[in-house]
Amino acid sequence: MTTTNPEPSALSAPPTAQISPVAWAKRNLFSDWSNTILTVVCLGAIAWLAYGLLNWIFTQAQWQVISANLRLFFVGRYPAQLMWRPWTVLGIIALSAGLTWGILARSTWLFNQTGLVVLGVIAAICVALAVPVSLNTSLLLLAILGVSVAAAFAGQRIGQRFPTLVSWLPLIWLGIFFVVFGLIRGGLFLQEVRLDDLSGLLLTLLTAIVSIVLSFPLGVLLALGRQSNLPVVRWMSIGFIEIIRGLPLITILFMSSLLVPLVLPPNVRIDRVVRAIAGLTLFSAAYLAENVRGGLQSIPRGQSEAAKALGLSAPLVTVLIILPQALKAVIPTIVGQFISLFKDTSLLAIVGFAELLGISQSILSNPNFLGRYQEVYAFDTVIYFCCCYAMALASRRLERQLGTGQR
Interface contacts to another protein, rule CB under 8 A:
300, 302-303, 305-314, 316, 320-321, 324-325, 328, 404-407
The nearest distance, CB 229 to another protein, in angstroms, is: 11
Given the complex with another protein, which of 8 and 405 has the nearer CB atom? 405
Q: How many CA atoms lie within 13 A of 323 on its CB side?
A: 17
Given the complex with another protein, which of 190 and 320 has the nearer CB atom? 320
Terminal Cα distance for the chain, rounded: 43
The nearest distance, CB 404 to another protein, in angstroms, is: 7
Who contacts 99 (Cβ-Cβ below 8 Å, separation ≥6)? 151, 152, 154, 155, 158
DSSP assignment string, 61-124: --THHHHHTHHHHHHTT--GGGTHHHHHHHHHHHHHHHHHHHHHTTTS-S--HHHHHHHHHHHH
Spatial CA neighbour of 62 closest among 156, 165, 158, 132: 132
Given the complex with another protein, which of 158 and 299 has the nearer CB atom? 299
| Size of the chain, expressed as the number of residues it contains | 407
User: What b/e readout covers 14-28, taking b as 16+ CB neighbours within 10 angstroms?
Assistant: eeeeeeeeeeeeeee
The nearest distance, CB 286 to another protein, in angstroms, is: 27
Q: Taking every pair of C-alpha atoms in the chain, what is the biggest distance, in angstroms? A: 96
The nearest distance, CB 232 to another protein, in angstroms, is: 18
The nearest distance, CB 310 to another protein, in angstroms, is: 4
What distance in Å separates the CA atoms of residue 396 and residue 407, rounded to the nearest whole number?
A: 19
The nearest distance, CB 407 to another protein, in angstroms, is: 4
The nearest distance, CB 379 to another protein, in angstroms, is: 43
Given the complex with another protein, which of 328 and 343 has the nearer CB atom? 328
Plot region of 51 (φ>0 → left; ψ -120 to 50 → alpha; else → beta) = alpha
What distance in Å separates the CA atoms of residue 320 and residue 332, rounded to the nearest whole number?
A: 21
Given the complex with another protein, which of 127 and 320 has the nearer CB atom? 320
Given the complex with another protein, which of 164 and 406 has the nearer CB atom? 406
Quick check: 356 and 201 in contact, CB under 8 A? yes
Identity (one letter) of the amino acid at 399?
Answer: E
The nearest distance, CB 69 to another protein, in angstroms, is: 49
Given the complex with another protein, which of 209 and 322 has the nearer CB atom? 322
Quick check: 152 and 110 in contact, CB under 8 A? yes
What distance in Å separates the CA atoms of residue 107 and residue 143, rounded to the nearest whole number?
A: 27
Given the complex with another protein, which of 267 and 406 has the nearer CB atom? 406
The nearest distance, CB 403 to another protein, in angstroms, is: 11
Given the complex with another protein, which of 54 and 402 has the nearer CB atom? 402
Spatial CA neighbour of 54 closest among 309, 378, 290: 378
The nearest distance, CB 321 to another protein, in angstroms, is: 6
Given the complex with another protein, which of 15 and 405 has the nearer CB atom? 405
